[in-house]
């Protein structure tokens, strides 16, 4: 016999054996059925013991008015299966009644199972009594927790074999405890009382953990709502706005057409408004006079300070004819570097115009309207012609101390720096039209700031101070403009150059 025929015989035997088992079970079911139906009625079950019946498997009931009997025919689609069973009216009525009771209890059992599964096995609790019903609007207590809780317990034992320690100190035992809880609880008592809790141990801010107990009255009751915990007070008006993050007690009552809302709480948030006008974002803020950035922003001369407001009067257009083309910034060398260092002597009145000269006994105005070495005043000519000895950094104090009666003092009218450090372009920013610089890092009180700059107005070029590329070579000192000295006081005019 071939292998193919053997497989056929085995397949036929399998189906025959299965049919015998099915007939045997049907016969047993028919014997147990008190109405001796062709097949016992087994409803769909979710327990997993029975398979669901196919949709085309059904029963057809036919009433015979002549014999007053009922014929129950089992059908598979449009085909009849077996012989129909005949029941009298009393038998059919009893059968139908018991079947309805069985279906009812099966449905109740399924509903209760689904509720318990959706509520983590916590069914509703029912508290009898009319007083409980009147206060809370129902007798049911429903608690629905969701989330997770993780607790870690540990024991750490460390041993350090150090001969200098005693035997008791070599071994240390510590208890390690960690918790991670993320839980949401929604509880309801009747129709009126509701508890909402949100707790997370890993929350970034404390106000993210909310708890609220809310009592809501019916439409015809005086007490409309009572809230305890995280509450809010929204207001309809735009003049006075309400807060949305409060913690406290809130109640709302109604007397006829009058509604009263009272709240006693602690505010846990702040509110800010942003206005957008013409495509730009605007916001209001307060700046106090004592909170400025000291020793960081400086005008290059009084001319730029006096014309600052006028230049910005037609924003976003900057109304200024000035264009600064070159600038060198010098500060006190505290880093010990030797790159880009020079000896400098900085002067307070260098390049200042009439009205802005501090020491008029030493410096006289030339009548110029713009800061410049030559056109503004005669200081630069005097320094290069009569006081050429200041090129030696060691003789600066001796040169000026010999000028008796003019009060030209170190720390007030000039500052000398040996091996001053020139800032790189990445250490400051300059506004070429408004004439001010902003340092990336604020200066200390004992540090000196001096500059040399060149700018154009129309076709004219002006310069204040000397540059390393065009001035005298090292080790001779450069003459530059003093913006901040070691004696920085509101009594001196360079104090006004600091923004």
Q: Count how many domains the chain has.
A: 4
263, 307: one domain:
no
167, 219: one domain:
yes
53, 132: one domain:
no
Q: Does 106 fall in a domain?
A: yes
Say how far apart CA 116 and CA 112 lie, in whole Å.
6
Backbone angle region of 82, left / alpha / beta, with phi > 0 → left and psi within -120 to 50 → alpha: left
Query: Tell me, what's the pLDDT at 85?
Result: 85
489, 364: one domain:
yes
Query: Tell me, what's the pLDDT at 112?
Result: 63
185, 142: one domain:
yes
Coil, strand or helix at 92: helix
Which tokens belong to 22? 């099915």
315, 355: one domain:
yes
Q: Does 485 fall in a domain?
A: yes
Q: How confident is the model at residue 28 (pLDDT cuts 50, 70, 90)?
A: very low
308, 434: one domain:
yes
Query: Tell me, what's the pLDDT at 117?
Result: 52
40, 22: one domain:
no
372, 323: one domain:
yes
Q: Does 272 fall in a domain?
A: no
Query: Tell me, what's the pLDDT at 238?
Result: 59
Query: How big, in percent rounded to 5, are the helix, strand and coil portions of the chain?
Result: 20, 35, 45
- Indicate the pairing of strand 79-88 with strand 69-76: antiparallel
Query: Tell me, what's the pLDDT at 409?
Result: 85
418, 385: one domain:
yes
Q: How confident is the model at residue 58 (pLDDT cuts 50, 70, 90)?
A: confident
Which tokens belong to 134? 């009147």
Which tokens belong to 274? 């942003």
Say how far apart CA 466 and CA 420 lie, in whole Å.
14
Q: Does 282 fall in a domain?
A: no
Residue 302 has pLDDT above 90, yes or no: yes
Q: Does 395 fall in a domain?
A: yes
- Give the domain range for residue 71: 33-117
Which residues lie closer than 8 Å to 285 by C-beta, 6 or more apart?
A: none
Q: What is the pLDDT of residues 200-235, one digit of tens each?
A: 887 776 667 778 888 888 888 888 888 888 777 766
Q: How many residues does the chain have?
A: 499
Residue 50 has pLDDT above 70, yes or no: no
């Amino acid at each position: 016999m071939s292998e193919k025929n053997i497989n056929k015989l085995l397949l036929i035997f399998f189906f025959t054996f299965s049919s015998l088992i099915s007939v045997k079970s049907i016969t047993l079911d028919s014997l147990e059925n008190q109405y001796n139906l062709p097949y016992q009625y087994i409803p769909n079950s979710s327990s997993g013991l029975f398979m669901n019946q196919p949709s085309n498997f059904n029963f057809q009931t036919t009433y015979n008015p002549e014999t007053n009997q009922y014929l129950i025919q089992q059908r598979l689609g449009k085909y009849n299966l077996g012989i129909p069973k005949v029941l009298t009216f009393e038998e059919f009525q009893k059968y139908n009644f018991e079947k309805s009771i069985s279906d009812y209890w099966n449905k109740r059992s399924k509903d209760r199972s689904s509720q318990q599964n959706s509520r983590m096995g916590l069914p509703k609790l029912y508290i009898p009594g009319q007083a409980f019903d009147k206060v809370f609007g129902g007798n049911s207590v429903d608690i629905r927790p969701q989330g997770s809780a993780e607790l870690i317990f540990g024991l750490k034992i460390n041993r350090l074999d150090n001969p200098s320690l005693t035997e008791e100190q070599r071994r240390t035992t510590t208890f390690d405890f960690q918790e991670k809880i993320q839980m949401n609880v929604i509880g309801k008592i009747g129709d009126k009382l509701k508890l909402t809790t949100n707790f997370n141990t890993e929350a970034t801010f404390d106000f993210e953990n909310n708890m609220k107990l809310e009592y809501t009255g019916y439409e015809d009751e005086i007490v409309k709502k009572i809230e305890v915990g995280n509450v809010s007070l929204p207001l309809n008006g735009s003049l006075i706005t309400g807060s949305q993050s409060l913690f406290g007690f809130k109640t709302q009552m109604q007397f006829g057409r009058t509604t009263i809302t009272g709240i006693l709480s602690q505010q846990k948030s702040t509110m800010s408004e942003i206005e957008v006008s013409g495509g730009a974002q605007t916001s209001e803020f307060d700046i106090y006079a004592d909170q400025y950035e000291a020793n960081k922003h400086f005008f290059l001369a009084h001319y730029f300070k006096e014309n600052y407001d006028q230049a910005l009067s037609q924003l976003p257009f900057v109304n200024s004819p000035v264009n600064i083309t070159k600038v060198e910034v010098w500060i006190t060398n505290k880093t010990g570097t030797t790159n880009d260092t020079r000896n400098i002597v900085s002067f307070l009145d260098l390049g200042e115009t009439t009205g802005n000269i501090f020491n008029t006994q030493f410096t006289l105005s030339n009548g110029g309207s713009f800061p410049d070495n030559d056109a503004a005043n005669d200081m630069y000519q005097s320094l290069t012609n009569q006081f050429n000895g200041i090129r030696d950094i060691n003789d600066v104090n001796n040169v000026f101390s010999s000028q008796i009666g003019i009060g030209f003092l170190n720390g007030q009218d000039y500052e000398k720096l040996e091996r001053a450090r020139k800032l790189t372009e990445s250490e400051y920013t300059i506004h070429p039209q408004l004439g001010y610089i902003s340092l990336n890092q604020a200066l200390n009180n004992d540090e000196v700031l001096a500059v040399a700059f060149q700018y154009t107005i129309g076709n004219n070029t002006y310069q204040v101070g000397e540059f390393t590329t065009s001035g005298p070579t090292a080790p001779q000192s450069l003459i530059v403009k003093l913006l901040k000295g070691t004696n920085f006081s509101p009594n001196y005019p360079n104090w006004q150059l600091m923004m």
